[in-house]
């Protein structure tokens, strides 16, 4: 493979903005006349090849999941608790990532170097290419780094398994969040509603600003030390704070559930982590919206800040209303149509209505996650009672399976991403700074708020509960999803790498340490 | 909107092969220096816009399905039988297609005309664009017709809802076919195995060649009449024969199931239509592979023909073995792991293993549909008995829901495609020819084969059964899927349009006429 690389590089480097470069590679140039049939055949074969490649990619993930399931069974069978299934999925993902990265030789692309041409306007979503008289349509996949250009052709498989955030947000996330809402234990949840909202809203905002400001300090330090090679704005730091403030309900709660630990603590942790996913999404998109347009300052601006707050409240309440409304509509439909004579139709309707909440909210510019969470709660509260016996069971099981698959998929994907994502920027100072500031941010969330909440609560939140909440601040799928959504700039790439490491560390160490920690803190 | 169109057209027409055109639109050109922050913001906003658009598209389909479900319920409630749910889904799809096409004004794209540039090599899958010093990666979406270029910017929504055949083949199809295999009534099926295989294999091949040859006559006639503006080869006609030979199990069988009609007739029809889906896939891809490479003849060639037959047998048996093997592996795993203590894991494993069969077969170049069908049969025969009570129910229900959703999605999509697909070529002669030759092809399949089969059968296939099988030769999802897979050339576009019309007609008329037909033929 090696001897070919220099040539490929030159081909890629001819790219230039000033000369409208048209690269003619030696391989292709067929005349329009006799090439018709052959070209058609090539396209067909290429389509088939790409179909096969897609199948292999999907298969990789499915095999990973299968392996995870079998190992989970083994662990459950042997009562191993130091490693949770999500941690396991991540480890398998890592291993496959390593294999893909280092085990598979770069496929021979010697006559497949991506050709290129120049345009002087902004990136557009669709481009037409005139190739030997035929027009081909190309769609934008994303920006790539100049560093990356040399890699483009090196390992196609690696890039193919890098996955579309759209898939995550529209397909994998909704069932997870919906299931959380649908299977919520309402009594404990509503009893602790005030505290949950305080932690989730106020706490997350505090944590976001604490982390953001600390990280800004770290970034300044890096600039002084000359470790930063590109721009890193204050708003980027705040964005990082928002990403890092979403705690993950998955791991700790699964263990809590297995151990039947204290109901109130469970409700607090669960409620906080579900709600703050939503808060983090809204926060991060508000911060992006808040970036003062046109200007280069990216600094703090009071007017823009209050606008953000307004946006935040508007989005949140809109999503809440939308989720609850769809839930109520489903409840009314199931009540008045006697659909329960046909459980299959009922289940399908239930499924579609719940999913449509998510999409409806996203389409209106609200937050689908918040909407689907409240939709789940409403469905459980109202619709559930109208369903036929078969449907109640069917819907529960359906969402349980979907949730399980989506969750494990995400965690194994995270493992995979560490090696397959090609733009990692590892900055030790930034990473260490992130770990410290996340810890401090979490502390600023839990302890002061618990103090104030205890002033008003009848059942005080005890010290050991507070330590447990502090300890249980894992970062998981949501942080990852927010970080991968945009990895175009230097700052975002560094954040993505750091986020991945934080997720790995917290899931393995804190997740694995939950059971010992519970007994250390005398919680039962 | 109107006044803008001429300008847009000019922009699109500047495309030229000979001059390496670089189109500078007036809107974009920002200098690299100060444009950084703004550009980033634009990209972010564009990404958000595209996310919202995607949500709206998905939402459209979900709303369609919801509406279909509610109407199905109404029909079932009122015991309406003249229109089956699939026909209904198609009608709703049609309506939404009309609305999208004529109801929504063309979005204002005056500064979003797709820019373009020229390359002189064959189409490649990835292209790099250098835009103001940044590199963007574009992936090939497909060839577009010169006719179409003027439409590209006219209605983006229309093009967005045009769906990726990949999604169909990898996601929607497997659950439908698997469910067919999994819920097969084995006794009747295996009793009629010989006849089913005869109809499905021999019959489909006969039908394919009859239709192909008749259509070649039609094409010749069109050439004489000057109705054909582009190439249309003999192999294209055979390909059309292969597409059109796949009968659809959905509609008629659903009605048979509701009426509890004769078990043997059910088994014959079901077995034939499931197996011939697979046969049609293998046939059509063999025909594509058979197109003599390089040469322009596209005519009959004995050596290549036998090669095709070899390919056909190889693919079919490979798929069969692979499907059965995965089924057996799942059965062994569930038998020996005591996984049944954890029904959720068991269901998830079952689901993943079954899906992976499909992907594995596709990745190896076999036919996923055949593999997944036999996997379903094996799973039902062996694995089913090893599952826990909860899992048996759960897997059944899970696949039932998936099957229901996928099926209705496909049918409403078919309705939608009539108006949203932008390259329809309506050729009355071709369409009439197709209807006639499909009828003849079906007759050549059923009557002669039934005659020969009756020589050997103990339970003869009676005349009224033969007429019913003749009548029940609906074309459905599989024909559509095969036709949409490649719509690049003129011939394929004409086939696609014709296929859609044939599907509509047969589903509505034959599907709706099943109940009356059964009583006319005195079948109970």
How far away is chain B from the Cα of A186, in angstroms, using its nearest Cα?
23
Give the per-residue pLDDT at A423: 78
Residues of B in contact with A135 (CB under 8 A): 15, 116, 143-146, 148-149
With residues binned 3-state (H G I as helix, E B as strand, rest as coil), the percentages for chain A, rounded to 5, are 75, 5, 25
Report yes or no: A199 and A449 within 8 Å, Cβ to Cβ: yes
DSSP H or E stretch at residue A118? strand A116-119
Q: How many other CB atoms are found less than 10 A from the CB of residue A135?
A: 21
Judged by a CB distance cut-off of 8 A, whether residue A134 touches chain B is yes
Check CB contact of A14 with chain B, cutoff 8 Å.
no
Q: Is B112 exposed, middle or buried (0-12, 13-18, 19+ CB in 10 A)?
A: middle
Q: How confident is the model at residue A129 (pLDDT cuts 50, 70, 90)?
A: low
B90 within domain boundaries: no
Q: For residue B441, which of B293, B279, B162, B246 has the smallest C-alpha distance?
A: B246
Please give the pLDDT value at position A307: 75
- For B485, list phi and psi in degrees, rounded to 5: -60, -35
Nearest CA in chain B to A486: B44
Q: What backbone phi and psi angles, to 5 degrees, belong to B104?
A: -90, 125
Report residue B144 as tokens.
């577009």
Interface ipTM > 0.90: no
Least CB–CB distance from A20: residue in B20, B62, B363: B20
Distance CA B34, CA A295 (A): 9
Do A135 and A170 lie in a common domain? no
Asked which of A93, A119, A154 is the last residue of a domain, the reply is: A154
Determine the residue of chain B that is closest to A367 in CA distance: B52
- DSSP letter for A341, please: G
Residue A132, chain B, CB below 8 Å: the answer is yes
B143 touches chain A (CB under 8 A): yes
Is residue B139, in this structure, part of any structural domain at all? yes
Report the distance separating Cα A336 and Cα A325, nearest Å: 16
Q: Which positions in chain A touch B148 (Cβ < 8 Å)?
A: 135
User: Per the domain annotation, does A48 fall within a domain?
Assistant: no
Nearest residue of A to residue B398 by CA position?
Answer: A398
Q: Nearest chain B residue to A340 by CA: give it.
A: B73
What pLDDT score was predicted for residue A23? 26
B55 lies in a domain? Answer: no
Distance CA B472, CA B63 (A): 30
- Which residues in A lie closer than 8 A to residue B332 (C-beta atoms)? none
Nearest CA in chain B to A51: B166
φ and ψ at residue B17, rounded to 5 degrees: -75, -35
Give the Cα separation of B44 and B391 in Å (integer). 45
Of A34, A70, A132, the CB nearest to B17: A132
Q: Return the H-helix or E-strand segment holding A143.
A: strand A134-144
Q: Does the beta carbon of A432 lie under 8 angstroms from any beta carbon of chain B?
A: no
Mean pLDDT (whole number) for A491-516: 88
User: A510 and A269 in contact (C-beta within 8 Å)?
Assistant: no
* Residues B188 and B226 occupy one common structural domain: yes
Q: What is the DSSP letter of A105?
A: P
| pLDDT-above-70 percentage for chain A | 74
State whether A138 and A170 are in the same domain: no
Domain assignment of residue A376, yes or no: yes
Which residues, 6+ apart, have CB-to-CB distance to A254 below 8 Å? A84, A85, A86
Provide the pLDDT for residue B118: 55
Residue A213 clears pLDDT 90, i.e. is over it: yes
Q: Which residues are A117's β-sheet partners?
A: B129
- For residues A201 and A275, the answer to whether their CB atoms sit within 8 Å is yes
Q: Which of A523, A462, A508 is nearest to A252 (CA)?
A: A508
pLDDT at A120 over 70: no
Residues 223-242 of B with CB under 8 A from A: 231
Q: In what order do the strands lie in the sheet with A116-119?
A: A116-119, B126-131, B134-144, A134-144, A126-131, B116-119
Q: Tell me the pairing of strands B134-144 and A134-144.
A: antiparallel
**pLDDT-derived band at A28, boundaries 50, 70, 90:** very low
d(CA B446, CA B198): 10
Distance CA(A282)–CA(A314), nearest Å, equals 10
From residue A195, alpha-carbon distances to A192, A262, B27 in Å are 6, 16, 52
pLDDT, tens digit (0-9, with 9 covering 90-100), for A391-445: 888 888 888 888 888 888 888 888 888 887 877 888 889 999 999 999 999 999 9
What DSSP string describes B125-182? SEEEEEETTEEEEEEEEEEE-HHHHHHHTT-HHHHHHS--HHHIIIIIHHHHHHHHHH
- Count how many pairs of residues, chain A against chain B, have C-beta atoms within 8 Å: 379
Question: Does residue B242 share a domain with residue B146?
Answer: no
Question: Quick one: tokens of A29?
Answer: 């140039």
Contacts of A351 in chain B (CB under 8 A): 401, 405
Q: Report residue B135: phi and psi, to 5°.
A: -105, 135
Residue B178 bridge partners (DSSP): none
On whether any CB of chain B is under 8 Å from the CB of A292, the answer is: no
Q: Is B389 an interface residue toward A (CB < 8 Å)? A: no
DSSP codes, B231-268? ---HHHHHHHHHHHT-B-SHHHHHHHHHHT--HHHHHH
Q: Which residues pair with B143 in a beta bridge?
A: A136
C-alpha torsion sign, points B491, B493, B499, B505: negative
The values of phi and psi at residue B224, to 5°, are: -60, -45
A46/B139 touch (CB, cutoff 8 Å), yes or no: no
Q: From CA A23, how far away is CA B366, in angstroms rounded? A: 37
Torsion of CA A123, A125, A128, A131, to 10 degrees: 80
Residues of chain A contacting residue B52, judged by C-beta atoms under 8 Å apart: 362-363, 365
CB B143 within 8 A of CB A136: yes
Residue B138, min C-alpha distance to chain A (Å): 4
Please tell me the distance from the alpha carbon of residue A161 to that of residue A149, in angstroms, as a whole number: 18
Residue bearing tokens 């596709």: B362
Q: Report yes or no on B135 lying in a domain.
A: yes
Residue B127 has φ and ψ, to the nearest 5°, of -135, 140
Contact yes or no for A397 and B397 at CB 8 A: yes
Question: What's the rounded Cα separation, in Å, for the pair B478 and B96?
Answer: 22
CB of B157 within 8 Å of a chain A CB? The answer is: no
Q: Number of helices (H) and strands (E), helices first, in chain B?
A: 24, 3
What sign has the CA pseudo-torsion B260, B262, B267, B269?
Answer: negative
What is the token pair recorded at A111?
Answer: 């006559």
End-to-end CA distance of chain B: 59
For B353, residues 6+ apart whose C-beta sits below 8 A from its C-beta are: A66, B326, B329, B330, B333
Q: Please indicate, yes or no, whether residues B281 and B137 belong to a single structural domain of this protein.
A: no
Q: Which two tokens stand for residue B291?
A: 């197109």
Helix (H, G, I), strand (E, B) or coil at A154: coil
For residues A93 and A414, the answer to whether their CB atoms sit within 8 Å is yes
Q: What is the mean pLDDT of residues A356-364?
A: 88
- Looking at residue B22, the DSSP 8-state letter turns out to be B
The predicted structure's pLDDT at residue B323 = 92
Same domain? B262 vs B127: no
- Partners of residue A25 in chain B, C-beta under 8 Å: 121
Question: Looking at residue B421, what DSSP letter applies?
Answer: -
Q: Which residues 488-517 of A have a C-beta within 8 angstroms of B?
A: 488-489
Give the structural domain span for A365. Answer: 163-391+427-494+511-520
| Cα B421 off chain centre by | 14
B144 and A135 Cβ atoms separated by less than 8 Å: yes
User: Does B5 or A240 have the greater pLDDT score?
Assistant: A240
Q: Chain B partners of A333 at a C-beta cutoff of 8 Å?
A: 70
Q: Please state, in angstroms and rounded to a whole number, the distance separating the CA atoms of residues B40 and B185.
A: 59
Residues A335 and A481 in one domain: yes
Do the chains contact at A55 and B355, CB–CB below 8 Å?
A: no
Q: Say yes or no: B397 contacts chain A, CB-CB below 8 A.
A: yes
Boundary residue ending a domain (A117, A137, A154): A154
Instruction: For residues B342 and B260, state if they share a domain.
Output: yes
* pLDDT over 50 at A55, yes or no: yes
Is A39 inside a domain boundary? no
pLDDT mean values, one per 10 residues, chain B (524 residues): 32 29 29 42 63 78 85 80 78 86 58 50 57 60 52 53 67 82 78 88 91 92 82 86 85 69 82 82 77 52 72 85 92 84 86 88 83 88 87 87 86 83 85 94 93 88 89 85 82 90 89 83 80
Task: Compute the nearest-CA separation of A447 from chain B (Å).
Answer: 36
DSSP letter at B475 equals B
- Closest residue in A to B364 (Cα) is A52
Contact check, Cβ <8 Å, B127/A127: yes
> By three-state DSSP, how is residue A282 classified?
helix
Cβ partners under 8 Å of residue B518, min gap 6: B259, B261, B468, B524
Q: Considering only CB atoms, which chain B residues are within 8 Å of A322?
A: none
Inspect the interface and report whether the beta carbons of A401 and B146 lie closer than 8 Å.
no
User: What's residue B442's pLDDT?
Assistant: 93
| Residue A69 resides in a domain | no
How many folded domains does chain B comprise? 2
Q: Are residues A132 and A176 in the same domain?
A: no
CATH assignment of the domain containing A211: 1.20.1530
pLDDT at B27: 29
Tokens describing residue A237: 């730091």
Distances (CA, A) of B287 to A394, B304, B444: 44, 10, 21
Whether B150 and chain A come into contact, CB under 8 Å, resolves to: no
Are the C-beta atoms of residues B239 and B488 closer than 8 Å to each other?
no
Beta bridge partners of A143: B136
Shared domain check, B4 and B137: yes
Same-domain check for residues A210 and A142: no
CA neighbor of A449 nearest in space, from A267, A272, A213: A272
Do B252 and B148 fall into the same domain?
Answer: no
Condensed to tens digits (0 to 9), the pLDDT of residues A263-320 reads 788 888 888 887 888 788 878 877 776 665 444 455 556 676 777 778 778 888 898 8
| B138 touches B127 (CB < 8 A) | yes
């Amino acid at each position: 493979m090696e001897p070919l690389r220099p040539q490929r590089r030159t081909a890629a480097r001819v790219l230039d903005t000033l000369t409208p470069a048209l690269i003619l590679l030696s391989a292709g140039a067929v005349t329009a006349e006799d090439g018709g049939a052959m070209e058609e055949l090539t396209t067909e074969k290429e389509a088939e090849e790409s179909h096969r490649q897609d199948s292999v990619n999907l298969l990789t993930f499915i095999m990973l999941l299968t392996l995870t399931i079998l190992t989970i069974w083994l662990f459950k069978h042997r009562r191993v608790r130091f490693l949770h299934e999500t941690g396991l999925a991540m480890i398998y993902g890592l291993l496959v990532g390593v294999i893909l990265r280092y085990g598979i030789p770069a496929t021979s692309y010697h006559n497949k170097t991506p050709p290129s041409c120049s345009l002087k306007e902004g990136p557009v979503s669709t481009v037409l290419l005139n190739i030997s008289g035929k027009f081909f349509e190309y769609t934008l996949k994303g920006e790539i780094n100049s560093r990356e250009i040399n890699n483009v052709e090196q390992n196609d498989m690696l890039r193919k398994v890098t996955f579309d955030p759209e898939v995550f947000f529209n397909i994998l996330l909704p069932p997870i969040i919906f299931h959380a809402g649908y299977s919520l234990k309402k009594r404990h949840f509503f009893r602790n509603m005030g505290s949950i909202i305080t932690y989730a809203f106020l706490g997350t905002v505090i944590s976001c600003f604490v982390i953001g400001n600390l990280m800004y300090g770290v970034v300044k330090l890096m600039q002084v030390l000359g470790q930063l090679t590109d721009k890193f704005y204050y708003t980027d730091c705040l964005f990082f704070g928002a990403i890092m403030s979403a705690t993950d309900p998955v791991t700790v709660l699964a263990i809590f559930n297995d151990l039947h630990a204290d109901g109130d603590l469970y409700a607090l942790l669960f409620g906080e982590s579900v709600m703050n996913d939503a808060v983090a999404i809204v926060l991060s998109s508000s911060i992006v919206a808040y970036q003062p347009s046109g200007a280069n300052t990216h600094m703090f601006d009071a007017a823009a800040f209050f606008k953000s707050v307004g946006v935040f409240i508007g989005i949140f309440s809109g999503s809440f209303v939308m989720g609850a409304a769809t839930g109520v509509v489903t409840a009314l439909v199931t009540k008045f149509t006697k659909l329960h004579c046909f459980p299959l139709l009922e289940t399908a309707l239930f499924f579609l209505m719940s999913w449509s909440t998510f999409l409806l909210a996203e389409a209106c510019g609200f937050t689908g996650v918040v909407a689907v969470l409240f939709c789940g709660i409403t469905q459980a509260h109202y619709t559930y009672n109208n369903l036929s016996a078969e449907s109640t069971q069917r819907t529960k099981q359906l969402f349980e399976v979907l949730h399980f698959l989506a969750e494990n998929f995400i965690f194994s994907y995270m493992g995979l991403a560490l090696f397959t994502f090609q733009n990692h920027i590892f900055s030790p100072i930034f990473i260490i700074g992130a770990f410290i500031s996340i810890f401090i941010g979490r502390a600023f969330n839990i302890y002061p708020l618990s103090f104030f909440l205890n002033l008003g609560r009848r059942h005080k939140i005890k010290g050991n509960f507070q330590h447990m909440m502090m300890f249980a601040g894992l970062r998981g799928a949501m942080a990852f999803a927010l970080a991968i959504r945009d990895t175009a700039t230097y700052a975002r790439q560094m954040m993505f790498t750091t986020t991945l490491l934080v997720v790995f560390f917290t899931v393995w160490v804190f997740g694995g340490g939950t059971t010992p920690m519970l007994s250390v803190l005398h919680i039962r």
